Amino acid sequence: MSPFLLTRTLPEDATDAALRADVLRGLAHTPRTLPPKWFYDAHGSDLFEQITELPEYYPTRAEREILIARSGEIAAATGARTLIELGSGSSEKTRHPIEALTGLHTYVPVDVSESALTQAGHALIAERPGLEVHALIADFTAPLTLPDTPGPRLVAFLGGTIGNLLPAERAAFLASVRALLSPGDALLLGTDLVKDEKVLVRAYDDAAGVTAAFNKNVLTVVNRELGADFDPRAFDHVAVWDAENEWIEMRLRSRTEQIVKIPALDLTVDFAAGEDIRTEVSAKFRKEGVRAELSSAGLDLARWWTDDEGRFALSLSVAR
């Protein structure tokens, strides 16, 4: 059986230091925020997989539909020998391009979730004998050191996860992706598209309450890691469409006036009744905006595919 390597690119205490810094930066001031990467401990990663199967959550199905239809074209256009996937999660949809890329030498899934990387990596090496899988536990917003593997390189960033970055963060992120590529290498990018507000809000506020549990999981993570005393039942899950910025915001809204202690940070947070913590932004895109953002980073949009209902887009862009 081919090898499965799992590399932690940062020391274990770096995660702890990053969580402390993010919680301090995000909760000590108003408006209060927490970055979405802290949803994804093992339980959060499981909850995200459940979200992808919800009737309201169309992005996974739409992107899978495009990948099934277009993986042959992706393989022909890129001839990639190394596929690097950022925020790879379960790698479930990535099976389609992996299968189509017959000359693929190494798959490099990159994620903060060790449990997701381990499960996905073992499944993939069993399915594709000969493929090297070199997983990296890493933060894709920080500089990445990739294994030395043959080109051409294809970087995949699926699931619309790019929408979780704010515009300035997106620009920095796309520039860092470009820096991983040589001219002619490519980026495969999944972007959710602007659409009817009701459809969008439903996708982030499902009837079964799975997204609510996912959102509240960040409080459980902060409780466990930093000894905080958040009561997840004292917060409501809220999803709102910001029409000006064209993004969905997920928030946790304090039901009452309450005080939360975070001993590891020596921090006490006073919440007013109805006060929100913003836990995720999920930007929705239009083709010309995506083209412009890619171009600013030195990437030329080469292909643009949508699902049949025009809900989600997958683009292939090439490094100049």
Using CB under 6 A, pick the residue from 9, 141, 176, 223 that binds ligand SAM.
Answer: 141
Q: Does residue number 15 form part of the binding site for ligand SAM (CB under 6 A)?
A: no
What gap in Å lies between CA 276 and CA 70, rounded to an integer? 41
Nearer to ligand SAM, 97 or 159 (CB): 159
Q: Are 282 and 241 in contact (CB under 8 A)?
A: no
**Binder of ligand SAM out of 144, 158, 210, 238 (CB under 6 A):** 158
Residue 8 beta carbon to ligand SAM: minimum distance, rounded to whole angstroms: 12
Contact window for ligand SAM (CB under 6 A) among 37-45, 127-135, 257-265, 295-303: 37-45
CB of 255 to ligand SAM, least distance (A): 27
Give the end-to-end CA distance of the chain in Å, rounded to a whole number: 37
Shortest Å distance, C-beta 268 to ligand SAM? 28
Inter-residue contact 83 to 154 (CB < 8 Å): yes
Q: Phi first, then psi: what are they for 32, rounded to 5°?
A: -85, 140
CA-nearest of 84, 121, 83, 122 to 103 is 83
Least Cβ distance, residue 269 to ligand SAM (angstroms):
23
**Among the listed residues 242, 230, 153, 237, the one whose alpha carbon sits nearest the alpha carbon of residue 194:** 242
> Site residues for ligand SAM, window 67-126 (CB under 6 A)?
87-89, 93, 111-113, 116
Q: Torsions phi, psi of 7, nearest 5?
A: -120, 130
Give the nearer residue to ligand SAM in terms of CB position, either 220 or 258.
Answer: 220
87: left (phi over 0), alpha (psi -120 to 50) or beta: left
Q: Among 15, 27, 58, 60, indicate the residue that binds ligand SAM (CB under 6 A).
A: 60
Number of residues counted as binding ligand SAM (CB under 6 A): 20
From the CB of 235, what's the least distance to ligand SAM, in Å? 21
Strand blocks (E) in 152-289: 153-157, 186-192, 235-242, 247-254, 258-262, 267-271, 276-283
Q: Which residues of this chain interact with ligand SAM, rule CB under 6 A?
A: 37, 40, 45, 48, 52, 60, 87-89, 93, 111-113, 116, 139-141, 158-159, 161
